[in-house]
Amino acid sequence: MKALEVILGKVEDDVAKVLEKNPPVEDVDPDDLDADGLPDAQNESWFRIDELVVVFADLQNSTQLGTGKHAASTAAIYRAATGNAVQVMHEFEANFIQIQGDGAFGLFWGRRALERAMCAGITVKTFSEKALVPKLKSRWDGDPDTGFKVGMGSGRVLVKNVGTPRNENEQEPIWAGKPVNYAAKAAQQATRHQLIVTGSVWDAIKNNDYLTVSCGHGTSGGSGPSGLWEDVEITKLTHDTDEAKGRLLKTCWCDSCGPGFAAAILRGETDRDDAGPVRAAATAFSSRLFEEAARRREERTLARKRGLSVRKR
Ligand SMILES: [Zn+2]
For residue 221, the model assigns a pLDDT of 54
Query: Which residues in 116-148 are b (16+ Cβ under 10 Å) and which e?
Result: bbbbbbbbbbbbbbeebbeebeeebeebeebbb
> Which chain residues have CB less than 5 Å from ligand 1, an ion?
215, 217, 254, 256-257
pLDDT tens across 244-269, in order? 999 999 999 999 999 999 999 999 99
Point out the least confidently predicted range of 77-81, 128-132, 184-188: 77-81
- Would residue 76 count as lying in a domain? yes
- Would residue 303 count as lying in a domain? yes
**How far is the C-alpha of 175 from the C-alpha of 56, rounded, in Å?**
14
Instruction: Report the separation in Å between the CA atom of 259 and the middle of ligand 1, taken as the mean of its atom positions.
Output: 10
Instruction: Report the separation in Å between the CA atom of 121 and the middle of ligand 1, taken as the mean of its atom positions.
Output: 18
Instruction: Give the mean pLDDT of 232-254.
Output: 94
Regarding predicted confidence, which is higher, 304 or 234?
Answer: 234
- Would residue 2 count as lying in a domain? no
Give the number of domains in the chain.
1
- Would residue 4 count as lying in a domain? no
Domain membership of residue 206 as a residue range: 23-312
**How far is the C-alpha of 258 from the C-alpha of 282, rounded, in Å?**
21
For residue 225, the model assigns a pLDDT of 84
- Would residue 1 count as lying in a domain? no
Q: What is the CATH number of the domain that holds 219?
A: 3.30.70.1230
Instruction: Report the separation in Å between the CA atom of 267 and the middle of ligand 1, taken as the mean of its atom positions.
Output: 19
Pairing type for strands 25-27 and 195-197 reads unpaired
**How far is the C-alpha of 156 from the C-alpha of 179, rounded, in Å?**
7
Cβ 53 vs Cβ 182: under 8 Å = no
**How far is the C-alpha of 66 from the C-alpha of 54, rounded, in Å?**
29
- Would residue 7 count as lying in a domain? no
Instruction: Report the separation in Å between the CA atom of 257 and the middle of ligand 1, taken as the mean of its atom positions.
Output: 4
Point out the least confidently predicted range of 55-69, 191-205, 242-256: 55-69
Instruction: Report the separation in Å between the CA atom of 119 and the middle of ligand 1, taken as the mean of its atom positions.
Output: 16
- Would residue 3 count as lying in a domain? no
For residue 284, the model assigns a pLDDT of 57
Instruction: Give the mean pLDDT of 190-207.
Output: 95
